[in-house]
Amino acid sequence: MNHFVKIRRDLHRIPELGFQEFKTQAYLLAYLESLPQERLSIKKWKTGLFVKVFGSNPSKTIGYRTDIDGLPIEEATGLEFVSTHQHRMHACGHDLHMSIALGVLTHFVENPINNHLLFIFQPAEEGPGGAEPMLNTDVMVEWKPDEIYALHIAPEYPVGTIAVKEGLLFANTSELFIDLKGKGGHAAYPHQTNDMIVAACTLVNQLQTVVSRNVDPLDSAVVTIGKITGGTVQNIIAETARLEGTIRTLSPDSMDKVKKRINALVSGIKAGYECEVTVDYGAMYHQVYNNEQLTREFMEYIQKETEFNLIECREAMTGEDFGYMLKEVPGFMFWLGVDSEFGLHHAKLNPNEDSIGVAIKAVTSYFTYRGN
């Protein structure tokens, strides 16, 4: 078995939620400390890590970011290395992301290039967001890279495929939490209550008009309510209800318009149902916008210098807080084909582990090309 496949399987067994990645951080540190240390410098940040690999004749620093957290999902893959943490799973491929990053890092510890490399092991990508606060650390100020890169697994593409595009790759995203409070009571006396189940259902229906009637048809946006909670038993009218969802847009302006429209609809529910309503937009992620020049150079390199299949993909409504890093440092993110029947955030996601070697080879060869 490939050494970095084993690492992936080890990490797959111990998924942890954002800013709770204590076992993951310890595993990464143990591996890093097993490498020759003369060209390494390691600094902790919460449950994440900054790792600098010193170049032999540096003129710049090249950054590489990997996310390290898992998701609150009960795994259903049936794999022999299934998650040992109840209701926790690496269902977004961060276990592969980490093993690839360690493979690239190990290569450059053993095969120095001229320029410095900075590897960022970032917690809390799935929420509440680790990229933006990591950018504001003293370590990042001291070691700030001149360019930065990342990848994300893509279940829909076969192994050996790299998909990328210049400009917008991932959407602007925002969480959405709406809490409604009215007056509960006996089901036999609805006239004495303010039913928050009815209010919540009305609001859900109204939210479906935000995109269809308030966003330019030539633009794109999504408002999804993924969870509704309310009430206690069948014969009590619910005093409270809660909606949980997500907003995704292809432009910051559209995000502002969508939120303004949601606020207006909420005001109508307050008046119409004589209730209290609070809106919390939770964590918001900035769009992933790939630097045109660097992305184009990478695409040309993959086509001309490697055996891998390059696809120029379309933008996606996926959210990724790597967008905050790209806002401050030029670079790009690309999709890595992993050929899984089940998609991202699915309990049966099972990436083809041959993709780990593909990614390590692609990134190390490109960094050698850019770093010497």
Name the residue among 258, 204, 260 with its Cα closest to residue 229.
Answer: 204
Amino acid at 124: A
Chain mean position to CA 275? 35
| Pairing of the two strands 161-164 and 309-312 | parallel
Q: Which two tokens stand for residue 12?
A: 């797959």
Which residue out of 67, 125, 321, 353 is catalytically annotated? 67
CA 149 to chain centre: 14
Active-site choice (21, 95, 126, 353)? 126
DSSP 177: E
3-state SS, residue 221: strand
**β partners of residue 121:** 49, 66
Record the tokens describing residue 297, joined without a space: 């150079």
For the chain, helix, strand, coil in percent to 5 are 35, 25, 35
- Residue 125 annotated to the active site: no
Burial call 123-145: b when 16+ CB within 10 Å, e when fewer: bbbbbebbbbbbbeeebbeebeb
What whole-number distance in Å separates Cα of residue 70 and Cα of residue 349?
A: 13
Whether 84 and 341 have beta carbons less than 8 Å apart is answered as no
Burial class (CB in 10 A: 0-12, 13-18, 19+), 342: middle
Which 3 state secondary structure label does DSSP give 22? helix
* Axis-axis angle for helices 94-110, 354-371 (nearest 10): 40
Is 74 labeled as catalytic in the residue annotation?
no
Q: CA 234 to CA 186: how far, in whole Å?
A: 10
Q: What is the dihedral of CA 295, 222, 255, 145, to 10 degrees?
A: -30
Residue 74 burial class via C-beta count within 10 angstroms: exposed 0-12, middle 13-18, buried 19 and up: exposed
- What residues act catalytically? 67, 126
